[in-house]
Amino acid sequence: MYINVDQMIEGEINNFIMVWSVATILFCYSYTIGKLIPKELEQPFNKPYLSTSVQDFWGRRWNIMVTRILHPTVYKPMVNASSHFIGRKWAPLPAVVATFTVSGLMHELIFYYIKREKKDTWEAWEPCWDSMCFFFIHGVCLALQIAYKKVFEPKRELLPRVVSCILTMVFVVSTGICLFVPALVRCGVFEKARTESIVFVQFVKNIYVQRGHSLHEG
């Protein structure tokens, strides 16, 4: 089986660029809206690059608003249901996996609606479940981390904080590039983000031009 190494490396570089391009666009949107609205908004992120574990990343730093939505709607009911079968101590494990599974299904549905276009303009959307696998893997890893803490009850972290941050980011980014980004590419998120960014920039420019004309005429 022949593998084109150059093409594979080029593809991974393009994926990396697209991931951070979308992240930059989302940050710019959030920052701009936050400055335009005079009220303090709830922070959706809390320095995710400082995460020391998968649990720290998903529980306290990444997409906090969604975490707060899924906790009472999926996690807590699953904990209550599982505690009747495996006890309160181990009930969080299937609850975590179930929560991430629901999150994966939500993303698959989101991609489906993003992909839907007018007839004969785009190819039919057929889920490959790679984003679902992304969330399922993270859910299993988080459940394993919780199980480890319950069994061994470590008094302190095994690795220095810097090393834990690096390993966590490597795991999140690598699984995201392999499993999450391809779904974004297939449903045309990057093309739509680029188009909408151009329209947004043009809209802001028009506002400033019109305001400049008004001040000049006044």
pLDDT tens across 81-106, in order?
A: 999 999 999 999 999 999 999 999 99
| Nearest-10 crossing angle of helices 130-152, 76-90 | 30
Element (H, E) at 29: helix 5-36
Which residues neighbour 197 within 8 Å (Cβ) at sequence distance 6 or greater? 25
- The answer as to whether 35 is a domain residue is no
**Positive or negative torsion for Cα 181, 29, 54, 86:** negative
Asked if residue 118 has pLDDT above 70, the reply is no
Contact 45, 61 (CB under 8 A): yes
For residue 174, being part of any structural domain is answered with yes
Residue 54 lies in a domain: no
In a domain, 102, yes or no: yes
Q: Which residue has the higher pLDDT, 188 or 119?
A: 188
* Number of folded domains that form the chain: 1
* pLDDT value of residue 16: 64
Question: Domain range holding 148?
Answer: 68-187
pLDDT score at 1 = 46
The verdict on residue 116 lying in a domain is yes
> Both tokens of residue 156?
């302190």
In a domain, 130, yes or no: yes
85 lies in some domain: yes
Domain contains 49 = no
pTM, entire model: 0.73
